[in-house]
Amino acid sequence: MIQETLDDDFVIGASAFPLSEQNTASALAVAFGMLVRLARRSKRLSVAQLAQQLSVDVEEVQKIEHDPSYQARPRTISSIAKFFELPLKEVMTLAGAAVSSDDAFRTKAMKFAAHSDDVSTLTEEEQELLRSFVRYLREKP
């Protein structure tokens, strides 16, 4: 009976993660997508151009930027960190490929994710938000 209902929208039994951890992971994934999207736009790259730079499919970049449930491959995450000159550990944490118990990091990432909005060019506020978050990631001990 369980096998027949695997595609249904309900969970059988207790969640593997407490609700607060699920919410945090989701917020981090949103922050990861937003970071990639804003960093790409700040370099004036299209999704296709970034995909080419990273040697990945266009669909993968689109999923990273817009689907918080998408789990990027470690090689892709590493390529993103390298291309945008970001610390790998923090980018892996944002992407859900690593875990951090750093509450300040999670709080900063969640605040960054809360400002997610998409427009064709970065506003001054978005540019400052991106610069501030990238500076935080790079300076984090």
What pLDDT is stored for residue 138 in this prediction?
87
What pLDDT is stored for residue 134 in this prediction?
87
Q: Are 1 and 93 a contacting pair, CB within 8 Å?
A: no
Selection from 127, 94, 89 nearest residue 113 by Cα: 94
In angstroms, rounded to a whole number, what is the distance separating the alpha carbons of residues 64 and 118? 14
Span 36-94, pLDDT tens digits: 999 999 999 999 999 999 999 999 999 999 999 999 999 999 999 999 999 999 999 99
Please tell us whether the domain made up of 23-134 is placed in CATH 3.60.15.10. Answer: no
- Domain residues of the chain, as ranges? 23-134
